[in-house]
Amino acid sequence: MSPLARFTLYSRPHCHLCERMLAELAGLPAAAAHPVDVLDVDQDPAMRARYGHKIPVLLFGGELVCHGRLDPEEVHKALATAR
């Protein structure tokens, strides 16, 4: 049995948009079975340079899904490609 693909949320502390995206993602039943790794962009200079002005940034299986606000349609598309 292969492991489930993971979501990665690039975030930073006290980011209300990041908190909202994480909560909305948790509210999508199709996404609930997949683990979410929340990474603080400020802990790594390369991540800060790449994602710092775009957070929140959501990836699934290493591929960009959306940034700024959760796009449920894009989440469902990403989940469909993982099947």
pLDDT higher than threshold 70 for residue 2: no
Q: What is the CATH number of domain 7-81?
A: 3.40.30.10
Query: What mean pLDDT, rounded, does the chain reach?
Result: 93
pLDDT higher than threshold 90 for residue 29: yes
Rounded to the nearest angstrom, the gap between the alpha carbon of residue 4 and the centroid of all alpha carbons in its chain is: 15
**Which residues, including other chains, have CB under 8 Å from residue 7's CB and lie 6 or more apart?**
25, 31, 34, 35, 36, 37, 58, 59, 60, 65
pLDDT tens for each residue of 46-74: 999 999 899 999 999 999 999 999 999 99
**Domain ranges within the chain, ordered by starting residue:** 7-81
